[in-house]
Chains A and B, each alone.
Chain A
Amino acid sequence: DAKTTQPPSMDCAEGRAANLPCNHSTISGNEYVYWYRQIHSQGPQYIIHGLKNNETNEMASLIITEDRKSSTLILPHATLRDTAVYYCIVRVASGTYKYIFGTGTRLKVLA
């Protein structure tokens, strides 16, 4: 299974862009990168996913490097409600379809 590495914590000023990095240097060609977040002890929430191209939705943008060994989740205008733990996950493309969550990045948005 491809593993991911994320910084344990980050701070971001409210209104500024939050850039959350993820390293997945052992990712395979057919594996997707997914991002989820968990606010307090709520159930994790899907944010975005991508394979090769950059992706954008109403919540965030996902930038994947050309070699696919790393990616960055961008929250363009962070708000206090974006304070959460953000998980970067590489989807195992085997028949088992496990989703392995790492320890994530604890993002604190500061007023």
Chain B
Amino acid sequence: DSGVTQTPKHLITATGQRVTLRCSPRSGDLSVYWYQQSLDQGLQFLIQYYNGEERAKGNILERFSAQQFPDLHSELNLSSLELGDSALYFCASSVGARSNTGELFFGEGSRLTVL
């Protein structure tokens, strides 16, 4: 158990809909990262937050947005869903932006299926 909690574990929805994925980082971790993994593909970095502020952006679509709340949990919002958005979405946390250990702790992912 990594200590990172993601909900929901599975989600099935229709094209055009909007969903919210939630991530609770490990206790004490200030940094949250979101990744997308499509079928048999690698992990695509989406976005990173540190202590409530956006720190880095990857290939995140404009239809997607995220935020990190004062209690440090994070939400990834996906809107106007398309079939190609079907994927595993992983959240990871780490101690902080300047942590020398640099270890990322991943949750078990949220599997999104868009029909």
Contacts and interface: CB of A to CB of B under 8 A. Distances in A.
Contacts of A97: 31, 48, 50, 55-56, 97-98
Given A32-B102, A43-B108, A98 B4 contact: no
A92 to B, nearest CB: 8
Contacts of A95: 55, 97
B90 A44 contact: yes
A50 to B, nearest CB: 11
A32 B98 CA distance: 13
Interface of B: 2, 4, 31, 33, 35, 37, 41-45, 48, 50, 55-56, 58, 88, 90, 92, 97-98, 101-109, 111
Interface of A: 32, 34, 36, 38, 41-46, 49, 87, 91, 95-104
Given A43-B4, A97-B55, A97-B56, 13 more contacts: A34-B102, A38-B43, A43-B2, A43-B106, A43-B109, A44-B92, A44-B104, A44-B106, A87-B43, A95-B55, A97-B31, A99-B104, A101-B44
